[in-house]
Amino acid sequence: MDMAAPESEFSVSSNTLVDQGLVHQQCGRLVEAELHYDQALAQEPGHVEALHLLGLVRHQTGRYPEAVELIQKAIALKAAPCPVLLTNVGAALQESRRWDEAEESYRQAIQAKRDYLPAHENLCRLLPIRGKALAAAEAWMSLGNQLLDLGKPQEAHIRYRLAFHFKPEDATLLHGLATTLASQGRLEESLAMYRAALSKDPKSALCWTNLGWVLSQLGRLDEAVGNFRKAILLAPEYAEAHMCLAATLLRMGHFSEGWAEYEWRWKSSAKQFVRPARSQPEWRGEPLSGRTLLVESEQGLGDILQFVRYVELLRRNGEHVLFRCPKPLQPLLNICSNLGDCMIHSEDALPYFDCFVPLLSLPRIFATTVETVPANVPYLRVPTNRVEAWCGRIGVHKAFRIGIVWQGSTSYSDDSQRSFHLNKFGPLAYFPGVELICLQKGNGSEQLRQISFPVRTLGEAFDVEGPFLDTAAVMKNLDLVIAPNTSIAHLAGALNVPVWVILSGVASDWRWIALRDDSPWYPSMRLFRPKVGGDWDEVFNRVYSEVARISRS
Protein backbone atom coordinates (compact mmCIF):
# COMPACT_ATOMS: atom_id res chain seq x y z
CA MET A 1 0.00 0.00 0.00
CA ASP A 2 1.13 3.56 -0.66
CA MET A 3 2.22 5.25 2.57
CA ALA A 4 2.78 8.96 3.13
CA ALA A 5 6.31 9.69 4.28
CA PRO A 6 6.61 13.07 6.07
CA GLU A 7 9.55 13.39 8.45
CA SER A 8 7.93 14.80 11.64
CA GLU A 9 7.49 13.01 14.96
CA PHE A 10 3.73 13.19 14.38
CA SER A 11 4.28 11.25 11.13
CA VAL A 12 6.06 8.43 12.93
CA SER A 13 3.32 8.26 15.54
CA SER A 14 0.52 8.38 12.99
CA ASN A 15 2.15 5.66 10.93
CA THR A 16 2.30 3.44 13.99
CA LEU A 17 -1.36 4.10 14.71
CA VAL A 18 -2.25 3.22 11.11
CA ASP A 19 -0.27 -0.03 11.32
CA GLN A 20 -2.03 -0.97 14.55
CA GLY A 21 -5.40 -0.03 13.07
CA LEU A 22 -4.74 -2.23 10.04
CA VAL A 23 -4.07 -5.22 12.30
CA HIS A 24 -7.42 -4.64 14.04
CA GLN A 25 -9.17 -4.21 10.69
CA GLN A 26 -7.75 -7.44 9.27
CA CYS A 27 -8.94 -9.27 12.39
CA GLY A 28 -12.46 -7.84 12.02
CA ARG A 29 -12.18 -5.48 14.98
CA LEU A 30 -13.57 -2.51 13.11
CA VAL A 31 -14.38 -0.28 16.12
CA GLU A 32 -10.78 -0.51 17.35
CA ALA A 33 -9.46 0.05 13.79
CA GLU A 34 -11.62 3.15 13.37
CA LEU A 35 -10.39 4.55 16.67
CA HIS A 36 -6.75 4.18 15.62
CA TYR A 37 -7.34 5.78 12.21
CA ASP A 38 -9.20 8.69 13.80
CA GLN A 39 -6.28 9.24 16.18
CA ALA A 40 -3.80 9.13 13.28
CA LEU A 41 -5.84 11.72 11.34
CA ALA A 42 -6.11 13.93 14.42
CA GLN A 43 -2.32 14.10 14.40
CA GLU A 44 -1.90 14.21 10.61
CA PRO A 45 -5.08 15.17 8.71
CA GLY A 46 -3.42 14.52 5.36
CA HIS A 47 -2.32 10.94 6.06
CA VAL A 48 -3.33 9.21 2.81
CA GLU A 49 -3.37 5.68 4.12
CA ALA A 50 -5.34 6.59 7.25
CA LEU A 51 -7.96 8.32 5.08
CA HIS A 52 -8.12 5.34 2.74
CA LEU A 53 -8.36 2.68 5.42
CA LEU A 54 -10.86 4.63 7.48
CA GLY A 55 -12.90 4.95 4.30
CA LEU A 56 -12.82 1.17 3.94
CA VAL A 57 -14.02 0.75 7.53
CA ARG A 58 -16.90 3.13 6.85
CA HIS A 59 -17.69 1.10 3.71
CA GLN A 60 -17.61 -2.15 5.69
CA THR A 61 -20.04 -0.70 8.23
CA GLY A 62 -22.46 0.59 5.58
CA ARG A 63 -21.63 4.31 5.83
CA TYR A 64 -21.05 4.66 2.11
CA PRO A 65 -21.24 8.49 1.70
CA GLU A 66 -18.63 8.89 4.45
CA ALA A 67 -16.48 6.24 2.74
CA VAL A 68 -16.67 8.14 -0.54
CA GLU A 69 -15.68 11.42 1.12
CA LEU A 70 -12.67 9.92 2.93
CA ILE A 71 -11.28 8.00 -0.03
CA GLN A 72 -11.78 10.98 -2.35
CA LYS A 73 -9.68 13.05 0.05
CA ALA A 74 -6.96 10.40 -0.14
CA ILE A 75 -7.15 10.45 -3.95
CA ALA A 76 -6.79 14.23 -4.03
CA LEU A 77 -3.60 14.00 -1.98
CA LYS A 78 -1.94 11.47 -4.31
CA ALA A 79 0.47 12.84 -6.90
CA ALA A 80 -0.60 10.24 -9.51
CA PRO A 81 -3.81 8.26 -10.06
CA CYS A 82 -3.87 5.18 -7.80
CA PRO A 83 -5.88 2.21 -9.14
CA VAL A 84 -6.51 0.82 -5.64
CA LEU A 85 -8.01 4.07 -4.34
CA LEU A 86 -9.99 4.66 -7.52
CA THR A 87 -11.43 1.14 -7.41
CA ASN A 88 -12.35 1.39 -3.73
CA VAL A 89 -14.02 4.76 -4.09
CA GLY A 90 -15.86 3.33 -7.10
CA ALA A 91 -17.20 0.54 -4.90
CA ALA A 92 -18.42 3.04 -2.31
CA LEU A 93 -20.01 5.19 -5.04
CA GLN A 94 -21.71 2.09 -6.41
CA GLU A 95 -23.16 1.25 -3.01
CA SER A 96 -24.36 4.87 -2.83
CA ARG A 97 -26.15 4.32 -6.16
CA ARG A 98 -24.02 6.98 -7.82
CA TRP A 99 -23.70 4.79 -10.90
CA ASP A 100 -22.10 7.21 -13.35
CA GLU A 101 -19.41 8.28 -10.90
CA ALA A 102 -18.71 4.65 -9.94
CA GLU A 103 -18.29 3.64 -13.58
CA GLU A 104 -16.00 6.58 -14.26
CA SER A 105 -13.89 5.74 -11.22
CA TYR A 106 -13.43 2.12 -12.34
CA ARG A 107 -12.47 3.29 -15.82
CA GLN A 108 -9.94 5.73 -14.36
CA ALA A 109 -8.46 2.89 -12.30
CA ILE A 110 -8.07 0.76 -15.44
CA GLN A 111 -6.53 3.69 -17.27
CA ALA A 112 -4.03 4.09 -14.41
CA LYS A 113 -3.13 0.39 -14.45
CA ARG A 114 -4.46 -1.55 -17.39
CA ASP A 115 -4.03 -4.98 -15.79
CA TYR A 116 -5.55 -4.07 -12.40
CA LEU A 117 -8.05 -6.89 -12.22
CA PRO A 118 -10.29 -5.71 -9.31
CA ALA A 119 -11.25 -2.59 -11.30
CA HIS A 120 -12.11 -4.75 -14.32
CA GLU A 121 -14.17 -7.12 -12.16
CA ASN A 122 -16.11 -4.31 -10.49
CA LEU A 123 -16.84 -2.60 -13.79
CA CYS A 124 -18.03 -5.90 -15.28
CA ARG A 125 -20.49 -6.37 -12.43
CA LEU A 126 -21.73 -2.78 -12.50
CA LEU A 127 -22.57 -2.45 -16.20
CA PRO A 128 -25.21 -5.23 -16.45
CA ILE A 129 -27.01 -3.75 -13.40
CA ARG A 130 -27.25 -0.49 -15.32
CA GLY A 131 -28.64 -2.23 -18.40
CA LYS A 132 -25.50 -1.53 -20.47
CA ALA A 133 -25.32 -4.92 -22.13
CA LEU A 134 -22.89 -4.08 -24.92
CA ALA A 135 -20.62 -2.12 -22.62
CA ALA A 136 -20.70 -5.07 -20.20
CA ALA A 137 -19.64 -7.41 -23.01
CA GLU A 138 -16.73 -5.11 -23.85
CA ALA A 139 -15.72 -5.01 -20.18
CA TRP A 140 -15.81 -8.80 -19.83
CA MET A 141 -13.77 -9.10 -23.04
CA SER A 142 -11.21 -6.62 -21.77
CA LEU A 143 -10.89 -8.54 -18.51
CA GLY A 144 -10.57 -11.79 -20.46
CA ASN A 145 -7.77 -10.24 -22.51
CA GLN A 146 -5.91 -9.22 -19.36
CA LEU A 147 -6.26 -12.69 -17.84
CA LEU A 148 -5.09 -14.31 -21.07
CA ASP A 149 -2.03 -12.04 -21.13
CA LEU A 150 -1.33 -13.08 -17.53
CA GLY A 151 -1.30 -16.74 -18.56
CA LYS A 152 -4.68 -17.60 -17.01
CA PRO A 153 -6.62 -19.07 -19.94
CA GLN A 154 -9.24 -20.87 -17.84
CA GLU A 155 -10.17 -17.68 -15.98
CA ALA A 156 -10.12 -15.75 -19.25
CA HIS A 157 -12.46 -18.33 -20.80
CA ILE A 158 -15.04 -17.75 -18.07
CA ARG A 159 -15.02 -13.99 -18.72
CA TYR A 160 -15.28 -14.46 -22.47
CA ARG A 161 -18.25 -16.74 -21.91
CA LEU A 162 -19.95 -14.02 -19.86
CA ALA A 163 -19.31 -11.56 -22.68
CA PHE A 164 -20.60 -14.12 -25.17
CA HIS A 165 -23.96 -14.02 -23.38
CA PHE A 166 -24.31 -10.38 -24.50
CA LYS A 167 -22.55 -10.53 -27.91
CA PRO A 168 -22.81 -14.05 -29.37
CA GLU A 169 -22.06 -12.87 -32.91
CA ASP A 170 -18.94 -10.82 -32.18
CA ALA A 171 -15.92 -12.07 -34.19
CA THR A 172 -13.35 -10.67 -31.76
CA LEU A 173 -15.05 -12.41 -28.87
CA LEU A 174 -15.24 -15.71 -30.74
CA HIS A 175 -11.55 -15.37 -31.49
CA GLY A 176 -10.82 -14.76 -27.80
CA LEU A 177 -12.79 -17.85 -26.81
CA ALA A 178 -10.91 -19.90 -29.40
CA THR A 179 -7.59 -18.66 -28.05
CA THR A 180 -8.45 -19.61 -24.47
CA LEU A 181 -9.47 -23.07 -25.64
CA ALA A 182 -6.22 -23.49 -27.55
CA SER A 183 -4.22 -22.31 -24.53
CA GLN A 184 -5.89 -25.03 -22.44
CA GLY A 185 -4.99 -27.71 -25.00
CA ARG A 186 -8.60 -28.05 -26.18
CA LEU A 187 -7.46 -27.90 -29.77
CA GLU A 188 -10.40 -29.45 -31.61
CA GLU A 189 -12.83 -27.14 -29.79
CA SER A 190 -10.65 -24.15 -30.61
CA LEU A 191 -10.68 -25.07 -34.31
CA ALA A 192 -14.46 -24.84 -34.42
CA MET A 193 -14.42 -21.52 -32.58
CA TYR A 194 -11.75 -19.99 -34.83
CA ARG A 195 -13.77 -21.03 -37.85
CA ALA A 196 -16.88 -19.45 -36.33
CA ALA A 197 -14.89 -16.23 -35.85
CA LEU A 198 -13.70 -16.34 -39.47
CA SER A 199 -17.27 -16.80 -40.68
CA LYS A 200 -17.98 -13.39 -39.10
CA ASP A 201 -14.70 -11.75 -40.12
CA PRO A 202 -12.96 -13.61 -42.97
CA LYS A 203 -10.38 -10.84 -43.35
CA SER A 204 -8.77 -11.31 -39.93
CA ALA A 205 -5.11 -12.18 -40.55
CA LEU A 206 -4.70 -12.84 -36.81
CA CYS A 207 -7.51 -15.39 -36.81
CA TRP A 208 -6.20 -17.19 -39.92
CA THR A 209 -2.77 -17.34 -38.28
CA ASN A 210 -4.08 -18.73 -35.00
CA LEU A 211 -6.21 -21.28 -36.81
CA GLY A 212 -3.09 -22.34 -38.69
CA TRP A 213 -1.17 -22.62 -35.44
CA VAL A 214 -3.78 -24.98 -33.96
CA LEU A 215 -3.72 -27.09 -37.13
CA SER A 216 0.06 -27.29 -36.88
CA GLN A 217 -0.24 -28.43 -33.25
CA LEU A 218 -2.55 -31.18 -34.46
CA GLY A 219 -0.02 -32.24 -37.07
CA ARG A 220 -2.14 -31.06 -40.01
CA LEU A 221 0.76 -29.21 -41.54
CA ASP A 222 -0.46 -28.75 -45.12
CA GLU A 223 -3.68 -27.16 -43.86
CA ALA A 224 -1.69 -24.99 -41.47
CA VAL A 225 0.51 -23.70 -44.28
CA GLY A 226 -2.59 -22.82 -46.30
CA ASN A 227 -3.95 -20.75 -43.41
CA PHE A 228 -0.67 -18.91 -42.88
CA ARG A 229 -0.55 -18.05 -46.58
CA LYS A 230 -4.10 -16.65 -46.36
CA ALA A 231 -3.05 -14.49 -43.42
CA ILE A 232 -0.03 -13.18 -45.33
CA LEU A 233 -2.18 -12.46 -48.36
CA LEU A 234 -4.43 -10.32 -46.15
CA ALA A 235 -1.55 -8.68 -44.26
CA PRO A 236 1.74 -9.01 -46.19
CA GLU A 237 3.78 -7.39 -43.38
CA TYR A 238 2.32 -9.50 -40.57
CA ALA A 239 5.52 -10.93 -39.07
CA GLU A 240 3.85 -13.50 -36.80
CA ALA A 241 2.16 -15.17 -39.78
CA HIS A 242 5.49 -15.31 -41.61
CA MET A 243 7.16 -16.84 -38.54
CA CYS A 244 4.44 -19.48 -38.15
CA LEU A 245 4.83 -20.29 -41.84
CA ALA A 246 8.60 -20.52 -41.44
CA ALA A 247 8.39 -22.90 -38.48
CA THR A 248 5.87 -25.14 -40.24
CA LEU A 249 7.81 -25.27 -43.51
CA LEU A 250 11.02 -26.13 -41.66
CA ARG A 251 9.16 -28.78 -39.69
CA MET A 252 7.99 -30.26 -42.99
CA GLY A 253 11.57 -30.29 -44.31
CA HIS A 254 10.89 -27.50 -46.84
CA PHE A 255 14.09 -25.74 -45.87
CA SER A 256 14.56 -23.42 -48.85
CA GLU A 257 11.40 -21.38 -48.33
CA GLY A 258 11.49 -22.00 -44.58
CA TRP A 259 14.88 -20.29 -44.09
CA ALA A 260 13.77 -17.34 -46.18
CA GLU A 261 10.58 -16.90 -44.11
CA TYR A 262 12.59 -17.27 -40.91
CA GLU A 263 14.25 -13.92 -41.65
CA TRP A 264 10.96 -12.34 -40.51
CA ARG A 265 11.96 -13.14 -36.93
CA TRP A 266 13.45 -9.67 -36.52
CA LYS A 267 10.03 -8.09 -37.02
CA SER A 268 8.33 -10.53 -34.65
CA SER A 269 7.10 -9.42 -31.23
CA ALA A 270 8.67 -12.51 -29.59
CA LYS A 271 11.19 -11.52 -26.94
CA GLN A 272 13.85 -14.04 -27.98
CA PHE A 273 14.44 -12.24 -31.28
CA VAL A 274 16.62 -9.26 -30.40
CA ARG A 275 18.71 -7.91 -33.24
CA PRO A 276 21.72 -5.83 -32.21
CA ALA A 277 22.09 -2.45 -33.88
CA ARG A 278 25.10 -2.43 -36.15
CA SER A 279 26.42 0.30 -38.44
CA GLN A 280 28.19 -2.33 -40.55
CA PRO A 281 26.22 -4.05 -43.34
CA GLU A 282 24.67 -7.47 -42.90
CA TRP A 283 26.38 -10.21 -44.88
CA ARG A 284 24.07 -11.87 -47.40
CA GLY A 285 26.44 -14.54 -48.68
CA GLU A 286 28.42 -12.59 -51.26
CA PRO A 287 32.20 -13.30 -51.45
CA LEU A 288 33.94 -11.87 -48.41
CA SER A 289 37.16 -11.23 -50.35
CA GLY A 290 39.29 -10.94 -47.24
CA ARG A 291 36.80 -8.95 -45.18
CA THR A 292 36.24 -9.81 -41.51
CA LEU A 293 32.82 -11.28 -40.70
CA LEU A 294 31.23 -11.08 -37.25
CA VAL A 295 28.83 -13.94 -36.53
CA GLU A 296 26.29 -12.90 -33.88
CA SER A 297 24.96 -15.65 -31.60
CA GLU A 298 21.22 -15.48 -30.97
CA GLN A 299 18.36 -17.09 -29.04
CA GLY A 300 18.93 -19.96 -26.58
CA LEU A 301 21.92 -22.12 -25.73
CA GLY A 302 20.46 -25.07 -27.65
CA ASP A 303 20.14 -22.94 -30.79
CA ILE A 304 23.77 -21.88 -30.52
CA LEU A 305 25.00 -25.43 -29.91
CA GLN A 306 23.08 -26.62 -32.97
CA PHE A 307 24.16 -23.92 -35.40
CA VAL A 308 27.70 -23.11 -34.24
CA ARG A 309 28.79 -25.78 -36.74
CA TYR A 310 28.39 -23.14 -39.44
CA VAL A 311 31.06 -20.94 -37.84
CA GLU A 312 33.46 -23.85 -38.11
CA LEU A 313 32.47 -24.32 -41.76
CA LEU A 314 33.20 -20.66 -42.50
CA ARG A 315 36.64 -21.01 -40.95
CA ARG A 316 37.28 -24.19 -42.92
CA ASN A 317 36.52 -22.19 -46.04
CA GLY A 318 39.32 -19.82 -45.09
CA GLU A 319 37.11 -16.89 -44.09
CA HIS A 320 38.25 -14.43 -41.43
CA VAL A 321 35.52 -14.89 -38.82
CA LEU A 322 34.76 -13.52 -35.37
CA PHE A 323 32.11 -15.25 -33.26
CA ARG A 324 30.31 -13.26 -30.56
CA CYS A 325 29.54 -15.87 -27.94
CA PRO A 326 27.31 -15.64 -24.83
CA LYS A 327 29.18 -15.89 -21.55
CA PRO A 328 27.72 -19.27 -20.41
CA LEU A 329 29.01 -21.10 -23.50
CA GLN A 330 32.47 -19.58 -23.66
CA PRO A 331 34.26 -22.11 -21.42
CA LEU A 332 32.78 -25.06 -23.33
CA LEU A 333 33.54 -23.68 -26.78
CA ASN A 334 37.00 -22.53 -25.73
CA ILE A 335 37.91 -26.06 -24.72
CA CYS A 336 35.76 -28.27 -26.95
CA SER A 337 35.79 -26.49 -30.33
CA ASN A 338 38.24 -24.99 -32.79
CA LEU A 339 36.74 -21.54 -32.27
CA GLY A 340 38.74 -20.38 -29.27
CA ASP A 341 40.88 -17.88 -31.16
CA CYS A 342 37.90 -16.29 -32.96
CA MET A 343 35.49 -15.97 -30.04
CA ILE A 344 34.51 -12.67 -28.46
CA HIS A 345 32.84 -12.51 -25.07
CA SER A 346 29.31 -11.15 -25.49
CA GLU A 347 30.06 -8.39 -22.98
CA ASP A 348 33.47 -7.40 -24.40
CA ALA A 349 34.13 -4.51 -26.75
CA LEU A 350 34.10 -5.61 -30.37
CA PRO A 351 37.27 -5.48 -32.46
CA TYR A 352 37.17 -4.24 -36.04
CA PHE A 353 34.93 -6.12 -38.47
CA ASP A 354 33.53 -5.32 -41.91
CA CYS A 355 30.12 -7.03 -41.85
CA PHE A 356 28.01 -9.20 -39.61
CA VAL A 357 25.51 -12.05 -39.84
CA PRO A 358 23.11 -13.55 -37.24
CA LEU A 359 23.97 -17.18 -36.53
CA LEU A 360 20.61 -18.63 -37.60
CA SER A 361 20.78 -16.84 -40.94
CA LEU A 362 23.73 -19.04 -41.95
CA PRO A 363 21.62 -22.06 -43.01
CA ARG A 364 19.88 -19.83 -45.56
CA ILE A 365 23.19 -18.44 -46.81
CA PHE A 366 24.61 -21.96 -47.11
CA ALA A 367 21.39 -22.98 -48.94
CA THR A 368 20.97 -25.85 -46.49
CA THR A 369 18.47 -28.55 -47.43
CA VAL A 370 17.58 -31.73 -45.58
CA GLU A 371 20.04 -33.56 -47.82
CA THR A 372 22.88 -31.05 -47.35
CA VAL A 373 22.72 -30.42 -43.59
CA PRO A 374 26.35 -30.09 -42.51
CA ALA A 375 26.40 -33.07 -40.17
CA ASN A 376 30.12 -32.55 -39.54
CA VAL A 377 29.95 -34.26 -36.19
CA PRO A 378 31.46 -34.25 -33.77
CA TYR A 379 32.11 -30.54 -34.10
CA LEU A 380 32.56 -30.38 -30.34
CA ARG A 381 35.38 -32.51 -28.97
CA VAL A 382 36.20 -33.03 -25.30
CA PRO A 383 39.94 -33.16 -24.54
CA THR A 384 41.08 -36.70 -23.74
CA ASN A 385 42.42 -35.77 -20.32
CA ARG A 386 39.00 -34.46 -19.20
CA VAL A 387 37.24 -37.60 -20.48
CA GLU A 388 39.76 -39.83 -18.70
CA ALA A 389 39.52 -37.81 -15.48
CA TRP A 390 35.76 -38.37 -15.38
CA CYS A 391 36.21 -42.01 -16.30
CA GLY A 392 38.32 -42.38 -13.16
CA ARG A 393 35.77 -40.58 -11.01
CA ILE A 394 32.80 -42.56 -12.30
CA GLY A 395 34.63 -45.87 -12.02
CA VAL A 396 35.13 -48.96 -14.14
CA HIS A 397 32.61 -49.12 -16.96
CA LYS A 398 30.68 -52.29 -16.16
CA ALA A 399 27.06 -51.12 -16.35
CA PHE A 400 25.08 -49.78 -19.32
CA ARG A 401 25.23 -46.14 -18.35
CA ILE A 402 22.40 -43.74 -19.26
CA GLY A 403 22.65 -40.01 -18.61
CA ILE A 404 19.21 -38.62 -17.89
CA VAL A 405 17.58 -35.18 -18.03
CA TRP A 406 13.89 -34.51 -17.49
CA GLN A 407 13.37 -30.77 -17.02
CA GLY A 408 14.10 -27.82 -19.29
CA SER A 409 14.34 -24.18 -18.32
CA THR A 410 11.08 -22.93 -16.85
CA SER A 411 11.66 -19.58 -18.56
CA TYR A 412 10.79 -21.28 -21.85
CA SER A 413 7.10 -20.60 -22.57
CA ASP A 414 6.26 -24.17 -23.58
CA ASP A 415 8.41 -25.93 -20.99
CA SER A 416 5.39 -27.69 -19.49
CA GLN A 417 4.82 -29.33 -22.88
CA ARG A 418 8.37 -30.66 -23.28
CA SER A 419 9.42 -31.56 -19.72
CA PHE A 420 8.29 -34.60 -17.76
CA HIS A 421 8.80 -35.96 -14.24
CA LEU A 422 11.91 -37.83 -13.19
CA ASN A 423 9.77 -40.79 -12.12
CA LYS A 424 9.34 -41.72 -15.81
CA PHE A 425 12.89 -43.10 -15.63
CA GLY A 426 12.05 -45.31 -12.63
CA PRO A 427 11.61 -48.63 -14.49
CA LEU A 428 14.99 -48.22 -16.22
CA ALA A 429 16.76 -48.06 -12.84
CA TYR A 430 15.82 -51.70 -12.18
CA PHE A 431 16.88 -53.10 -15.54
CA PRO A 432 19.75 -55.57 -15.04
CA GLY A 433 23.08 -53.94 -15.77
CA VAL A 434 21.62 -50.42 -16.24
CA GLU A 435 22.85 -47.42 -14.23
CA LEU A 436 21.15 -44.02 -14.39
CA ILE A 437 23.42 -40.97 -14.09
CA CYS A 438 21.91 -37.55 -13.42
CA LEU A 439 22.84 -34.78 -15.86
CA GLN A 440 20.06 -32.49 -14.63
CA LYS A 441 21.07 -29.08 -13.28
CA GLY A 442 18.96 -26.38 -11.67
CA ASN A 443 15.20 -26.58 -12.19
CA GLY A 444 13.93 -30.12 -11.67
CA SER A 445 16.83 -31.27 -9.49
CA GLU A 446 14.56 -31.14 -6.45
CA GLN A 447 12.73 -34.19 -7.85
CA LEU A 448 15.72 -36.32 -6.86
CA ARG A 449 14.46 -36.04 -3.27
CA GLN A 450 11.04 -37.38 -4.28
CA ILE A 451 12.03 -40.73 -5.79
CA SER A 452 12.79 -44.15 -4.34
CA PHE A 453 14.81 -45.63 -7.24
CA PRO A 454 18.59 -45.22 -7.61
CA VAL A 455 19.98 -42.34 -9.70
CA ARG A 456 23.66 -41.54 -9.43
CA THR A 457 24.51 -37.87 -8.91
CA LEU A 458 27.90 -36.35 -9.57
CA GLY A 459 28.28 -33.85 -6.75
CA GLU A 460 27.76 -30.17 -6.08
CA ALA A 461 30.94 -29.21 -7.97
CA PHE A 462 29.58 -30.66 -11.23
CA ASP A 463 30.06 -28.07 -14.04
CA VAL A 464 31.44 -25.56 -11.56
CA GLU A 465 34.19 -24.53 -14.03
CA GLY A 466 31.59 -23.62 -16.62
CA PRO A 467 28.20 -24.78 -17.96
CA PHE A 468 28.35 -28.14 -19.75
CA LEU A 469 32.12 -28.66 -19.27
CA ASP A 470 31.81 -31.64 -16.92
CA THR A 471 28.56 -32.67 -18.59
CA ALA A 472 30.33 -33.02 -21.94
CA ALA A 473 33.17 -35.08 -20.43
CA VAL A 474 30.73 -37.33 -18.58
CA MET A 475 28.68 -37.84 -21.76
CA LYS A 476 31.76 -39.29 -23.48
CA ASN A 477 31.79 -41.97 -20.74
CA LEU A 478 28.13 -42.93 -21.24
CA ASP A 479 26.40 -45.42 -23.48
CA LEU A 480 23.32 -43.27 -23.97
CA VAL A 481 21.74 -39.93 -23.07
CA ILE A 482 17.96 -39.56 -22.78
CA ALA A 483 16.54 -36.03 -22.58
CA PRO A 484 13.62 -33.83 -23.59
CA ASN A 485 14.06 -31.10 -26.21
CA THR A 486 16.71 -29.13 -24.30
CA SER A 487 20.25 -27.86 -24.80
CA ILE A 488 21.54 -31.13 -23.31
CA ALA A 489 20.14 -33.01 -26.32
CA HIS A 490 21.97 -30.62 -28.68
CA LEU A 491 25.19 -31.00 -26.71
CA ALA A 492 25.06 -34.79 -26.93
CA GLY A 493 24.33 -34.61 -30.65
CA ALA A 494 27.21 -32.17 -31.25
CA LEU A 495 29.55 -34.57 -29.41
CA ASN A 496 28.21 -37.50 -31.47
CA VAL A 497 27.12 -39.26 -28.28
CA PRO A 498 24.10 -41.59 -28.66
CA VAL A 499 21.09 -39.53 -27.56
CA TRP A 500 17.35 -40.19 -27.48
CA VAL A 501 15.13 -37.12 -27.45
CA ILE A 502 11.65 -37.44 -25.99
CA LEU A 503 9.24 -35.16 -27.85
CA SER A 504 5.75 -34.28 -26.67
CA GLY A 505 2.61 -34.63 -28.74
CA VAL A 506 2.35 -34.57 -32.52
CA ALA A 507 3.63 -30.99 -32.57
CA SER A 508 7.29 -30.41 -31.90
CA ASP A 509 10.00 -27.85 -32.40
CA TRP A 510 10.70 -27.12 -36.06
CA ARG A 511 14.23 -28.44 -35.56
CA TRP A 512 12.87 -32.00 -35.42
CA ILE A 513 11.38 -32.66 -38.83
CA ALA A 514 7.88 -34.16 -38.75
CA LEU A 515 7.34 -37.90 -39.18
CA ARG A 516 10.99 -38.79 -38.61
CA ASP A 517 12.59 -40.73 -35.79
CA ASP A 518 16.07 -39.50 -36.70
CA SER A 519 17.64 -36.09 -37.22
CA PRO A 520 19.73 -34.96 -40.18
CA TRP A 521 21.42 -32.55 -37.79
CA TYR A 522 22.76 -35.25 -35.49
CA PRO A 523 23.56 -38.77 -36.79
CA SER A 524 23.74 -40.15 -33.24
CA MET A 525 20.20 -39.01 -32.35
CA ARG A 526 16.88 -40.84 -32.20
CA LEU A 527 13.54 -39.12 -31.72
CA PHE A 528 10.70 -40.64 -29.69
CA ARG A 529 7.31 -39.07 -30.35
CA PRO A 530 3.95 -40.02 -28.82
CA LYS A 531 1.78 -41.84 -31.33
CA VAL A 532 -1.38 -40.38 -29.76
CA GLY A 533 -1.55 -36.84 -28.38
CA GLY A 534 0.79 -36.24 -25.47
CA ASP A 535 0.81 -39.77 -24.03
CA TRP A 536 4.12 -39.90 -22.14
CA ASP A 537 3.44 -43.45 -20.94
CA GLU A 538 3.19 -44.78 -24.48
CA VAL A 539 6.49 -43.09 -25.41
CA PHE A 540 8.32 -44.36 -22.37
CA ASN A 541 7.07 -47.90 -22.87
CA ARG A 542 8.88 -47.85 -26.22
CA VAL A 543 11.95 -46.38 -24.55
CA TYR A 544 11.93 -49.18 -21.94
CA SER A 545 11.68 -51.83 -24.65
CA GLU A 546 14.53 -50.32 -26.65
CA VAL A 547 16.79 -49.97 -23.60
CA ALA A 548 16.07 -53.59 -22.67
CA ARG A 549 17.02 -54.68 -26.19
CA ILE A 550 20.27 -52.73 -26.57
CA SER A 551 21.51 -53.12 -22.98
CA ARG A 552 21.46 -56.91 -23.40
CA SER A 553 23.30 -56.89 -26.71
117 close to 147: Cβ distance less than 8 angstroms: yes
| In the predicted structure, residue 2 carries a pLDDT above the cut 60 | no
Distance in angstroms (rounded) separating the CA atoms of residues 98 and 91: 10
Mean pLDDT of 398-419: 80
Q: Count Cβ atoms within 10 A of the Cβ of residue 449 and give its class: 0-12 exposed, 13-18 middle, 19 or more buried.
A: exposed
Mean pLDDT of 61-72: 90
Residues counted in the chain: 553
290 close to 343: Cβ distance less than 8 angstroms: no
Q: What sign has the CA pseudo-torsion 514, 515, 517, 523?
A: negative
- Give the rounded distance of the alpha carbon of 292 from its chain centre: 35
pLDDT-derived band at 8 (thresholds 50, 70, 90) equals very low
pLDDT-derived band at 153 (thresholds 50, 70, 90) equals confident
Helix (H) or strand (E) holding 482: strand 480-484
Among the listed ranges 127-136, 153-162, 314-323, 382-391, which one has the minimum average pLDDT value?
A: 127-136
pLDDT, residue 255, reads 97
Strand ranges, E, within 178-257: none
Mean pLDDT of the chain: 89
The pLDDT tens digits of the residues spanning 420-470 come to 899 999 999 999 999 999 999 988 899 999 999 999 999 888 988 889 999
408 close to 418: Cβ distance less than 8 angstroms: yes
pLDDT, residue 106, reads 85
The pLDDT tens digits of the residues spanning 15-42 come to 888 898 889 989 999 999 889 988 889 8
pLDDT, residue 470, reads 94
Mean pLDDT of 182-191: 91
Mean pLDDT of 123-145: 81
What contacts 24+ positions apart, CB below 8 Å, involve 120-123? 120/146, 122/87, 122/90, 122/91, 122/94
pLDDT, residue 497, reads 97
**The one-letter amino acid at 355:** C
pLDDT-derived band at 1 (thresholds 50, 70, 90) equals very low
Mean pLDDT of 191-205: 96
Q: Compute CA distances 63 → 294, 356, 517, whole Å.
A: 70, 69, 70
Distance in angstroms (rounded) separating the CA atoms of residues 48 and 376: 68
For helices 171-183 and 187-200, what crossing angle results, to 10°?
170
Distance in angstroms (rounded) separating the CA atoms of residues 267 and 275: 9
**The one-letter amino acid at 65:** P
The pLDDT tens digits of the residues spanning 324-376 come to 999 899 999 999 998 888 888 777 789 999 999 999 999 999 999 999 999 78
Determine the Cα angle at 368 with ends 219 and 299, to 5°: 70
Q: What sign has the CA pseudo-torsion 481, 485, 489, 493?
A: positive
Among the listed ranges 100-114, 208-222, 364-378, which one has the minimum average pLDDT value?
A: 100-114
| In the predicted structure, residue 533 carries a pLDDT above the cut 70 | no
**The one-letter amino acid at 157:** H
Distance in angstroms (rounded) separating the CA atoms of residues 539 and 418: 13
Alpha helices in 395-523 (DSSP H): 415-418, 426-429, 469-475, 487-494
pLDDT-derived band at 307 (thresholds 50, 70, 90) equals very high
446 close to 311: Cβ distance less than 8 angstroms: no
pLDDT, residue 369, reads 96
pLDDT-derived band at 534 (thresholds 50, 70, 90) equals low
pLDDT-derived band at 152 (thresholds 50, 70, 90) equals confident
372 close to 309: Cβ distance less than 8 angstroms: no
CATH number, domain 169-270: 1.25.40.10
pLDDT, residue 286, reads 95
pLDDT, residue 261, reads 98
Mean pLDDT of 121-147: 82
Distance in angstroms (rounded) separating the CA atoms of residues 174 and 193: 6
The pLDDT tens digits of the residues spanning 498-531 come to 999 999 765 578 999 988 999 999 999 999 988 7
pLDDT, residue 7, reads 38
For the chain, what are the domain ranges?
A: 169-270, 292-365, 384-552
CATH number, domain 384-552: 3.40.50.2000
pLDDT more than 90, % of the chain: 54
pLDDT, residue 3, reads 31
